[in-house]
Amino acid sequence: METGTAIVRAMIWIMQNKIKVHVINMSYGEQVHWSNSGRIFDLMNEVVDKYGVTWVAAAGNFGPALCTIGTPPNINSTNIISVGAYVSPDMMVAEYSLREKMPGMPYTWSSRGPMVDGGTGITLCAPGGAITSVPNFTLRKSQLMNGTSMASPHVAGAVALLISGLHDKDCSYSPYSIKRALENTSLYIDTLDSFAQGSGLLQVERAFENLVANCKAIERDVRFAINCGVNNSKGIHLRSGVIDRPKDCAITVDPIFLDTENVDATRKINFNLRLSLVCDATWVQFPSHFELMHMSRAFTVRIDGVKLPEGVHATNIRAYDVENVEKGPVFSIPITAVQPLTIQKSMNLPDLHYSRVLFKANTIVRHFILVPEDATWAVLKIKSTDKEKTGRFAVQTVQLKPRLACRTLLTNKMINVTSQSESVQGFAVQAGLVVEVVIAKYWANLGEIHVDYSIEFHGIHIVDSNLTMQSGDGIHRMELRSSLRNEDIVPSVTLKSIVQVLRPTDYKISPLGARDVIPPARQIYELQLTYTFHIAKATEVTPNAAYLSDLLYESEYESQLWMLYDCNKHLIFSGDAFPWKYTVKKLEKGDYTLKMHVRHEKKDLLERLTEMAILLNQKLSSPVSLDVYANHSQAIVGGKKMVAATVPPGHILPVYIAPMNNESNNEDKISKAATLGTYLQGAVTFCKDDARKKVDCYTFKYVLSEPAKKSPTVVKPDDEKVSKWEEYQDTLRDIKCTWLAKLEATEHATALYNELRTSYPEHLPVHTAMLTSLDSPEARRLLPHDDLSESAINFADQMIDVADKVITAIEQEKLLAFYGMKHDQRPDAMKIKSTMDKQKNLLIEAFVKKGCAYARLYIHARKRGETEAAMHLATVTQIWNDVQKYAEPTDSKVLILSLWHAHINKHYGRYLKLLTRYYEEKPVRDIDEKFIEITRTVGWDHWARYLTTSLPTRYPKAYRPF
């Protein structure tokens, strides 16, 4: 999808004016939460208002419900031409191969106006389909494409023709005069949906005549900014409830010249329009005359919709120049009023029934209903009354919430309606808001059909309850109420993901390059944030920069992008403003880096985000359910759980949710790294029916506490307790052992080892620490190899001597006998197990180091042709067999020995398999290079070529830039 970065860079290129751009077509967009402010909105306005570019945009394909216009054109001004999609009779026959030719009509799915803030929504409509060329990768010459994305370039092409003709005739124009000409000359078709066609069907010749005739009009280079009410809306839109009283609305009209900062002052002084205001609706009261000069002027209109019948009513106030009425309205103020159906409380059930409603192709029936109190979901049931007839229907529901996109409470389904079975569609609703229920027969579905349908309202209302539960809060009480009917409930709380809060480990603010400078010299800066995290087990992951999420065009920042890299700086995934669109389906175990990129020309705004957190949503391997109880006492003791209940109308039913038991030990479902702010997320549902659960569900969060810190120490009996001095000596010994393992195998390490083994001859970790020191130069190589130095051979001999001290000191028969027991009933069983586990780990480490050392000696002897090579090879095999008594050959502690064993025995298939396992532990370039070496050895050149060519991509030298 589009990004703020790409859109801004495209607009900068246009502003630089190296090649004059006259028309922009934009056949894509998104739904926005509000349209009266936003960084990208401001830059779009600058392209049109300062640089004089005509901008054409697709209205969107979110219809047939009202208020489904996308962005653009739904921005904070009216200077963008919005295009709806129309299908003509000839298109039906030639492109869609319909059996019958019907009158032209808007497509069923074409977005409808008005805009949420009252703006017109659709400027005009144009043919929205074509059989056109497509890329070769589709393996086809052409394809039928449709949508407002096809209608918009149709209009853009028409605008290009108009501009070309105006240049030829030396007639002046502006983006505003072109839009007015298109609006005033379009063919309005009374039989079609006014919200889908706007001013009507595009008429190019009439528009050109209008532009030529009015090329010297005083308002040619002026757009009229209409602000209605306290919210400065682009029109008047009454949809908040029942219209039971007249409403006065203040309207401000502000004339704005093209490139107003550079316009000659004389033009501004001489600008004066005497306007006559006209409106066809009797329920709108307005002044008849309005004189406008170069200043903002206001007047008031009264909307008296008290007597309006149920449904939607639309009109506009048109302003005509009294000196030239023929050119059409100079500006218009759209007015939309929705009078909803209210369900009387006296009704036994809040159900609406409609019988034998006739639907023809593209028949659209709208119901506007004020959702009853406590309703949370509704059900539409629809069935044909005509036997042997099937209808293809679009069913859509929309509720508008302040400053939230129409998609927030929107459902859209395509269904087949027959007489054999009833189609049942559920959808979420919010009490107190007007819901629009749209039933539309698909435009290409020929024939007529009669249907019966009903709309039922249901509800389980959560009374003053918090949907976030703290693990330390104890029992969580929720109160449920039903006000509409008896509701059967089965409460369920299911947590499906764990959300970790990541804080940036680094940030950097820097100026971007030349293509990110807005003319003449407005530098755009970049904030780059770095986050790191670890994935313990392969899972599904969704990063979410919640502070900026779900905002693109309306955001006060230009762009928010993130890129996810593995530990080798390889780009794995990327995403932007909409986290629900960008989920990494399977992120393997390992360490990862996420870089976040935010842009703006004001550095102080970027500095506000230097500590911005990111939410890392990880899917649990299996969902976690919280237990729900009918009463508090059962919840405390973990008694009988709540199975089902019925809530009568007007009753309140409390339910009790118990916290998780031993959550810190639930390693399979909950991450061990539960830090401050980590929480589980899922859903709480109440409906008994599975289909209803999908529409009536609520997000539930369970905040985790930090895992309990369990002390590993065991309480010793009095006769085993040591003095503080002895404890000090033991601690000093352990510190020295730790440092011995870190030292290179030099005289310092040897001196420290001799000191420790003299002082603590029976302390085996002294020897394993020395083994680590001796192996340190070779350990950096990670993998088996043949280019051994003389020092490596010398260290190998020493490693064998030291490893033997550990191996001979441990009674292996006793160790194996212990692990062969099923149950140890001795009173000090825990202490014995701890001791045995330590001995086993020391023994495994000694075996592994010794085996690797003998493998190096084997390679050295083989190169020299010594007879000892065969003996060394047999010794490595014997050690490898011995260590498997205590651990699997693929165990992380044994894996390096298994690799050496496969290497010296030339077991290449097993070698590759072990390398794959090793790569999961340490995904580094050396392992891939070893893959290439082995595949070439066995003649698998195709695999070797693939790995070789992929190395630069999988192991880049730096992070890919934004």
Q: How confident is the model at residue 667 (pLDDT cuts 50, 70, 90)?
A: very low
Q: How confident is the model at residue 715 (pLDDT cuts 50, 70, 90)?
A: low
Q: What was the pLDDT predicted at 664? A: 44
The whole-number average pLDDT for the span 577-586 is 93
Backbone angles phi, psi at 14, to 5 degrees: -70, -40
Q: What was the pLDDT predicted at 710? A: 62
Query: One-letter amino acid identity for 898?
Result: S
Check pLDDT > 80 for residue 134.
yes
Cβ atoms of 388 and 350 closer than 8 Å? no
Check pLDDT > 50 for residue 668.
no
CB count in 10 Å sphere of residue 924:
15
Q: What was the pLDDT predicted at 669? A: 54
Nearest to 350 by CA among 370, 320, 331, 332: 370
The whole-number average pLDDT for the span 766-780 is 81
Paired with 316 in beta bridges are: 334
Check pLDDT > 70 for residue 727.
yes
Q: pLDDT by residue (tens digit) across 501-553?
A: 999 999 999 999 999 999 999 999 999 999 999 998 899 999 999 999 999 99
Q: pLDDT by residue (tens digit) across 429-466?
A: 999 999 999 999 999 999 999 999 999 999 999 987 78
H-helix or E-strand containing 815?
Answer: helix 812-820
CA distance 661 to 670: 12
Q: What was the pLDDT predicted at 881? A: 94
Cβ atoms of 881 and 889 closer than 8 Å? no
Q: pLDDT by residue (tens digit) across 875-889?
A: 999 999 999 999 999
Nearest to 127 by CA among 99, 96, 97: 96
Give the chain's length. Answer: 962
Q: How confident is the model at residue 253 (pLDDT cuts 50, 70, 90)?
A: very high
Q: What was the pLDDT predicted at 706? A: 75
Q: Say if residue 821 is exposed, middle or buried (CB neighbours under 10 Å; 0-12, 13-18, 19+).
A: exposed
* pLDDT winner (highest mean) among 99-113, 809-823, 865-879: 99-113
Give me 493's structure tokens: 């709380």
Cβ atoms of 859 and 786 closer than 8 Å? yes
Q: What was the pLDDT predicted at 349? A: 82
Helix (H) and strand (E) counts in the chain: 22, 44
CA distance 828 to 88: 89
CA distance 734 to 23: 76
Q: How confident is the model at residue 10 (pLDDT cuts 50, 70, 90)?
A: very high
CA distance 429 to 417: 23
Q: pLDDT by residue (tens digit) across 165-202?
A: 999 999 999 999 999 999 999 999 999 999 999 999 99
Q: What was the pLDDT predicted at 109? A: 96
Nearest to 344 by CA among 382, 309, 372, 302: 372
Q: What was the pLDDT predicted at 516? A: 94
Q: What was the pLDDT predicted at 781? A: 67
CB count in 10 Å sphere of residue 623:
14
User: All domains of the chain, ordered by start, with CATH?
Assistant: 1-216 (3.40.50.200), 341-458 (2.60.120.680), 462-498+622-703 (2.60.40), 504-612 (no CATH), 725-923 (1.25.40.710)
Q: pLDDT by residue (tens digit) across 197-236?
A: 999 999 999 999 999 999 999 999 999 999 999 888 999 9
Residue with tokens 């010749």: 205
Q: What was the pLDDT predicted at 608? A: 96
Q: What was the pLDDT predicted at 914? A: 93
Give me 221's structure tokens: 């280079």
3-class SS of residue 908 = helix
Q: What was the pLDDT predicted at 693? A: 86
The whole-number average pLDDT for the span 140-156 is 95
Q: pLDDT by residue (tens digit) across 918-960?
A: 888 888 899 999 999 999 999 999 999 999 999 999 999 999 9
The residues, ordered by sequence, that sit 6+ positions from 5 with a Cβ below 8 Å of its Cβ are 558, 559, 561, 597, 599, 962
3-class SS of residue 849 = helix
**Dihedral of the alpha carbons of 719, 720, 726, 730, in degrees to the nearest 10:** 180
Residue with tokens 């170069």: 294
Q: What percent of the chain stands above pLDDT 90?
A: 79
What is the dihedral sign for C-alpha 645, 648, 653, 659? positive
The per-residue pLDDT of the chain, averaged, comes to 92
Check pLDDT > 90 for residue 344.
no
Q: How far is CA 758 from CA 102, 328, 748, 807, in A?
A: 102, 106, 16, 18
Query: Between these two residues, 822 and 288, which has the higher pLDDT value?
Result: 288
Q: pLDDT by residue (tens digit) across 598-649?
A: 999 999 999 999 999 999 999 998 999 999 999 999 999 989 999 899 999 9
